[in-house]
Every structure is written in C-alpha cells, then in structure tokens.
C-alpha cells in the first residue's frame, strides 16, 4: 500500500475525530502528505501534534461542510496551495437519532447540507481544475444506512443514499477520464458518532449507542478504506455480521427484511 500513497497528498474532511482522525494517522504512516479539514482548525493542529505529523508533511484547512457554498473557495485555495491530490476522502458528516415525525426541517437541512451537499459541491468545484491533469480518487464514506433505510435515521439515510447516487453517476461519467470513486459503507464502528448525532430539535444526543460501543474497531475501518482505495475497489462494506446479514436479507428476502428492520435494535 505504501507505494500508492508515498509522497502523495491525501485530503480528509471531518479529520478531527473518529474515522477521519484514524485515516489521518494511517495515511501518514503510509508516507502520504495529509491535509486535515474540519470546522475547527485549532483542533486539527492539536491532532497533528498528538500524532507527531512532521512539518511540511501535513496541512490544516478550515472547512465547514454545512456551509456547502464554501466548498468552491476551499477547492480553489487548496488546489493552488497543494496541487491536485491523489485522494480526497469525503468523511465529514453527522448522524441522527430521532423519529421522522419528531424531526424539524432545520435538522433535516443541516444533515443534508453537511453530509451530501458539502461533499457534492467540493467535488463539483474540483472537477474542472483536475480533469485531464492527473488521476484523482474520491473515497466517499456513505453508510450501511445508505443502502437500507434505518429507523431513527431518516434524514441521515437520505443523505447517505444521495451520496451513492451522486458518486455512482460521477463514476459513470468520468472514470474513463481518470476520476476514480470508492464508495464506503461502514456499519457500526467504535466512534463518537452516536454521541454527536442530532435529535429532532437539532441538539446532540450525548449518548453512546450500545451497538456502536460493540462495533468494529475504528483502526480496522480506516485500514480497509485505505486498502480499498489503493486497490481501486469501487465498493467496500465494512461491517459486522448483523449489518451484512441485513443487506443480504434486503437483497434476497425483502419482505422478511422489512419485518425485521421494524423491530431491530438500532441504538
């Protein structure tokens, strides 16, 4: 894997915690130069210090995905400063823990803006600047919830489904031009995603879901993402038996799956 990443720029959104932070660590260990992007640059500098990132081998840039119109300026600024990256990992996002009937429109908009429009606009803005110059690889962190609708996650699932449709279409349009897309579908991963998830009124839950706490290690998730990108895999599911079994049922026994998902413990 080292040869793929060595000396190349890897941009990672949502780099301040969870999967994003672990991706920074592992990409750097693969000899990549890493660009850390999130809403709070000071936090990113602290992470860079914690991980021992060497000066000149990393960069920190502010990017608030919810303010998705800023993606165009971010793309122009960073392309000018660092050139065309080898990999862009669209990792930033926020989850949800509320019934649809209890969720206000502002919360739905925040989730869609952060999870979908932020990634879509950054990608759209980059394309005219990179096409025909260098191969580029977009790794897009969707979710198992981007393959099947899950209770308490209607807006979250919608945003992750949207990523799949957008980037599948982009792949069909531009893979022949050197634009590669790896769609990543994590299941329950041991991060703070449930603590930071939004309730219907837009406030954070502050609670760790039992299914997250017992999920796959974040280190394994990040390793498999970087491995999939290096091998130009178009799709990768990173999940435990429970989530994979759900995907199997949805495909081959949809009626049974629907009965089970209604009763499933999803937090």
Catalytic residues: 156
Question: Is-contact 198 97, C-beta < 8 A?
Answer: yes
Secondary structure of residue 94 in the 3-state scheme: coil
DSSP 229-266: HHTT-SEEEE--HHHHHHHHHHHH-HHHHHHHHHH---
Question: Is-contact 93 159, C-beta < 8 A?
Answer: yes
Question: Is-contact 88 38, C-beta < 8 A?
Answer: no
Place of tokens 């165009």: 72
The C-alpha atoms of residue 209 and residue 114 are separated, in whole angstroms, by 22
The C-alpha atoms of residue 149 and residue 143 are separated, in whole angstroms, by 10
The C-alpha atoms of residue 120 and residue 215 are separated, in whole angstroms, by 28
Place of tokens 């009937």: 101
H/E element holding 33? strand 33-38
């Amino acid at each position: 894997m080292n040869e793929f990443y060595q000396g190349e720029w890897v941009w990672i959104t949502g780099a301040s915690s969870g999967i994003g932070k672990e991706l920074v660590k592992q990409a750097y260990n693969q000899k990549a130069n890493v660009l850390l992007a999130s809403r709070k640059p000071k936090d990113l500098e602290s992470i860079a210090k914690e991980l021992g990132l060497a000066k000149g081998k990393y960069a920190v840039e502010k990017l608030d995905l919810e303010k998705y119109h800023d993606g165009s300026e971010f793309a122009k600024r960073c392309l000018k400063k660092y050139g065309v990256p080898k990999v862009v990992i669209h990792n930033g996002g926020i989850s949800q823990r509320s019934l649809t009937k209890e969720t206000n429109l502002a919360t739905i908009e925040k989730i869609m803006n952060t999870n979908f429009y932020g990634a879509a606009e950054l990608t759209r803005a980059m394309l005219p600047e990179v096409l025909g110059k260098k191969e580029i690889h977009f790794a897009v962190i969707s979710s198992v919830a981007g393959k099947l609708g899950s209770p308490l996650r209607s807006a979250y699932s919608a945003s992750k489904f949207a990523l799949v449709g957008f980037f599948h279409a982009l792949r069909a349009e531009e893979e022949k031009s050197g634009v590669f897309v790896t769609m990543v579908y994590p299941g329950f991963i041991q991060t703070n995603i449930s603590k930071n998830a939004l309730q219907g009124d837009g406030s954070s839950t502050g609670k760790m879901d039992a299914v997250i706490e017992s999920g796959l290690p974040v280190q394994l998730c990040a390793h498999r993402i970087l491995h999939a990108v290096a091998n130009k895999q178009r799709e990768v599911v990173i999940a435990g038996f429970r989530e994979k079994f759900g995907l199997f049922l949805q495909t081959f026994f949809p009626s049974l799956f629907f009965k089970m998902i209604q009763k499933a413990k999803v937090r």
